Amino acid sequence: MNKENKMGTMPIKELIISMSLPMMISMLVQALYNVVDSIFVSQIGEDALTAVTIAFPMQNLMIALGSGTGVGINALLSRSLGEKNYKKSDSAANNGIFLTFCNFIVFLIIGLFFANSFISSQTGNEQIRNYGNTYLTIICCFSIALFFQMTFERLLQSTGKTIYSMFSQASGAIINIIFDPLFIFGIGPFPQLGVAGAAYATILGQFIGSTIGLICNLRFNNEINISIKDIITPDIKTISEIYYVGVPSILMMSIGSAMTYLMNLILGSFSNTATAVFGVYFKLQSFFFMPVFGLNNGLIPVLAYNYGAKNKNRINEALRFSLILAVSIMLLGAATFLLIPGKLLQLFNASDEMIRIGIPALRTICLSFPIAGVCIAMGSVFQAFSKSMYSLVVSVGRQLVVLIPAAYLLSKTGLLNNVWFAFPIAEIASLALSAYFFLKVYKETIIKL
């Protein structure tokens, strides 16, 4: 017998913390993995760090496809639970698992046939090309673990069981951190694999995380029923509903891949070190963006559930509280980047040239952090209420319409330091668009409940 879900009864502040904190912690561990992974790779040399940086857009594309599909699953499943439509919530879960396998097939093909072309399009340095092709081929061909880990975590998040989602994500990241130095440097009985070792450690962590996620769903997620029969007989209507919300989210995050790819090209026109600095920035900023995304992931099912239950007061309280938390986290991030950029860069075996380029880069880009916190919090409304197209428009506006053209034009001044100002410029544009669409959604949906 199904009982009332805690998302409709628990006090909002306590609910947001209980939903978000496990994901924020697990994403902090994930951010730690990202940083530690690059720290170990940087010990091989700056070329290795640059190679991982130029492989990142394709990795980000994998995450975009998996996470965007997960957003669609999450929104449909949580809303169906709020409406007490348990048949629909089960269909969302099983069709989501089917789509997860399809996502893997796409990147298996990319890894086998297109990895080298992708890396070569961004650099003419043979050593960087070799490192990058090795790393990206392994990551793509074994990406089945990444996709299933993300889906199983989303299923747990959708029903409020975020503590188990934390176990899945954190355990995978911890395994990755442990095996990175063992595989890269050949410690103990392990062979010295270099950059390939970093890729294999990543894959191993993802396999462990996905296995734990599967076990947690089967044993503890009683609000959904996973069925092999339903997985292998996909329902077109359910898939279309998942992708109605998920595709804009996929496109939105894929734009991030296009942005990083184009930024790599712009910065590469100055030096490989400039590209490496950009990669280091992306690793470091995850310490602050990932917890905010964890907060966002915890907020979405709360909003979706209470929208299905037509509870306006709980929606309003959840939005206010989450906005304050998001901005607070990003203010802490901005202060860290402003005060100790040199010490952060030294973690990555930074050369004098990387320090010279990196300090003004970090201090300039971090000016956009508090604005980004506001935009992320407001964007949760678009995803929860099936208005993801607005998130797509905001993302296109920020990253492709403003950021890349601004960076390109600023690069024409011949001064690398000017390029970094494209980030706060783009975030201001994002704030304007986000505020407009947020007010539109609020008037059309929440205020009418």
Give the Cα separation of 115 and 107 in Å (integer): 10
* Number of domains the chain contains: 1
Asked whether residue 376 is assigned to any structural domain, the reply reads yes
- Does 352 fall in a domain? yes
Q: How much is the pLDDT for 5?
A: 61
Residue 283 placed within a domain: yes
Would 21 be classed as within a structural domain?
A: yes
Whether residue 3 is contained in a domain is answered as no
Domain that holds residue 147: 9-448
Alpha carbon 412 to chain centroid, angstroms: 31
Taking the alpha carbons at both ends of the chain, their separation in whole angstroms is 28
pLDDT of 7 reads 67
Would you write out the chain's pLDDT as a tens digit for each of its 449 residues?
344 567 667 878 888 888 888 778 877 877 787 788 889 999 999 999 999 999 999 998 998 899 889 888 988 888 888 777 888 888 888 999 999 999 999 999 999 999 999 999 999 899 999 999 999 999 999 999 999 999 998 888 888 787 888 888 888 888 998 999 999 999 989 999 999 999 999 999 999 999 999 999 999 888 888 888 888 888 899 999 899 888 877 887 788 899 999 999 999 999 999 999 999 998 899 889 988 988 887 888 888 888 877 788 888 888 889 999 999 999 999 999 999 999 999 999 999 999 999 999 999 999 999 999 999 988 888 878 878 778 888 988 999 999 999 999 999 999 999 999 999 999 999 999 999 999 998 888 877 76
User: Residue 2 domain-assigned?
Assistant: no
Nearest to 173 by CA among 139, 225, 198, 208: 208
Q: Is the pTM of this model over 0.85?
A: no
Asked whether residue 1 is domain-assigned, the answer is no
Nearest to 263 by CA among 277, 280, 251, 278: 278
Residue 4 lies in a domain: no
Which pLDDT value is given to residue 1?
39
